C-alpha cells in the first residue's frame, strides 16, 4: 500500500512544474558554485580537493534545505486540506502512509543527487577521487537526510500545521548547520567539540573532509563520523515511532 502513496506523491510532487522548479533552482546553485570555484582566478588557487569539499557541502546543504521544506508540508497538507480523514478511512495503515511519504521525500533527495552528479564529476576530474566523492555524498547525504525526514515527520504529527513544522525544521537545521561551518579553531573548547561530535551536519561535512582532503576513503577510517549519523537516524526513527503512537492515541481529529 505504501507504494500507492509513494507513487501518488511522486506524481503530485515531482511531476509538477513547481517541484521541478526546485531542481532547476538547485542546478542553478550548483552551476554558479562550480563555475565560480573552478574558474575564478583567486578561488581556483585553492587545492582541487578543497573545492570538491566545498561543492559537496553545498550539494548536501541545498538538498537538506529543499527536502526539509518539502517534508515539512508533505504530511501536514493532508491535515490542512482535510484529506487525512478520507485517507485513513481507506484500508491504509499509518505505517504505510508514513513509509510512502518517507520514500517520496527520499526520492526528492535522489533527484537532487542525480542533478548534482555532472557537477561532481566535472569538479573531481583528474583528482582520482570521483568515485569516493560520489559514493560518500550519496551515503552521507542519504543517512543525514533520512534522519531529518524522520524528525520532520515526527514534528508534523505533533503540530499538524505546515507553518509550525517548517519553522521548527528550519530553526533546527540552522542550529545544526551554522556551527558545522565554523573553522576548527573555533571549536577548540570542550562544549564545541562535544556538540561537533554529535551534530549530524558536522559529521557529514567532517567525513567529506576526511575523504576528500585527507584521502581517507575507507569506511573504517570514517567510522567516527558515520556511527553518530547512524545513531542520529535511529534516534529520529524512535522519535517518529513515539510521535506515531501519540498520533494514534489522539486520533485523526485532534481533541485538545
Partner 1 sequence: MKKITIFLLSTAIFLLAVNVFAKSVSPALVLDISSSKTLSGTAGDFVTVEGTITNSSSQPLNNITTYLSLADNDSKLPVDLEDWSAEKGLYIGTIDAGQKLPLNWKIHFVKAGTYSLIIVAEVAGNELPQVSSITQFQVSLKRNLNPGQVLPVALGMPIVLTFILFILSYKRRVDE
The footprint of partner 1 (CB under 8 A) covers 15-17, 20-21, 23-24, 27-28, 30-32, 34-35, 38-42, 44-45, 48, 51, 115, 118-119, 122-123, 125-126
Residues with Cβ within 8 Å of 190's Cβ and at least 6 positions away in sequence, in order, are: none
Q: Considering the complex, what minimum distance in angstroms separates the CB of residue 48 from partner 1?
A: 6
* Cβ pair 165, 152 in contact under 8 A: yes
Task: Using the minimum distance from each CB to partner 1, give the nearer residue, 24 or 227.
Answer: 24
User: Contact, 189 vs 133, CB < 8 A?
Assistant: no
Distance CA 21, CA 101 (A): 20
C-beta closer to partner 1: residue 16 or 193: 16
Sign of the CA dihedral running 150, 156, 157, 158: positive
Instruction: For residue 97, give the nearest of 13, 12, 1 by alpha carbon.
Output: 1
Distance, in Å, from the CA atom of 101 to the CA atom of 240, rounded to the nearest integer, reads 13
User: Which of 42/256 has CB closer to partner 1?
Assistant: 42
CB 51 within 8 A of CB 38: yes
Query: Residue 117 or residue 231: which is nearer to partner 1 going by CB?
Result: 117
CA distance 92 to 86: 10
Burial class (CB in 10 A: 0-12, 13-18, 19+), 75: buried
Three-state SS at 126: coil
Nearer to partner 1, 70 or 202 (CB): 70
Report DSSP state, residue 213: T
Identify which of residues 44 and 178 has a Cβ nearer to partner 1 in the complex.
44
- CA dist., res. 157 & res. 141, Å (int): 24
Cβ distance to partner 1 smaller for residue 53 or 243: 53
Neighbours of 249 (CB within 10 A): 7
Amino acid at each position: 500500500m505504501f507504494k500507492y502513496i509513494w507513487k501518488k506523491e511522486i506524481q503530485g510532487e515531482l511531476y509538477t512544474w513547481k517541484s521541478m522548479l526546485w531542481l532547476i533552482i538547485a542546478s542553478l546553485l550548483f552551476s554558479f558554485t562550480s563555475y565560480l570555484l573552478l574558474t575564478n582566478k583567486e578561488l581556483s588557487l585553492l587545492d582541487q580537493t578543497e573545492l570538491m569539499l566545498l561543492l559537496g557541502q553545498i550539494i548536501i546543504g541545498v538538498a537538506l534545505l529543499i527536502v526539509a521544506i518539502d517534508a515539512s508540508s508533505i504530511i501536514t497538507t493532508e491535515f490542512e486540506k482535510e484529506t487525512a480523514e478520507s485517507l485513513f478511512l481507506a484500508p491504509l495503515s499509518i505505517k504505510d502512509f508514513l513509509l510512502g511519504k518517507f520514500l517520496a521525500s527520499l526520492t526528492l533527495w535522489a533527484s537532487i543527487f542525480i542533478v548534482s552528479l555532472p557537477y561532481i564529476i566535472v569538479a573531481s576530474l583528474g583528482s582520482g577521487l570521483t568515485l569516493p566523492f560520489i559514493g560518500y555524498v550519496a551515503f552521507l547525504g542519504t543517512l543525514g537526510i533520512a534522519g531529518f525526514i524522520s524528525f520532520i515527520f515526527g514534528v508534523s504529527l505533533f503540530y499538524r500545521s505546515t507553518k509550525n513544522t517548517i519553522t521548527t525544521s528550519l530553526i533546527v537545521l540552522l542550529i545544526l548547520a551554522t556551527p558545522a561551518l565554523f573553522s576548527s579553531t573555533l571549536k577548540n573548547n570542550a562544549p564545541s567539540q562535544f556538540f561537533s561530535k554529535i551534530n549530524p551536519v558536522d559529521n557529514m561535512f567532517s567525513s567529506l573532509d576526511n575523504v576528500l582532503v585527507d584521502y581517507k576513503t575507507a569506511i573504517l577510517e570514517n567510522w567516527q563520523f558515520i556511527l553518530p549519523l547512524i545513531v542520529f537516524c535511529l534516534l529520529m526513527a524512535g522519535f517518529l515511532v513515539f510521535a506515531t503512537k501519540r498520533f494514534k492515541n489522539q486520533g485523526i481529529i485532534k481533541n485538545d
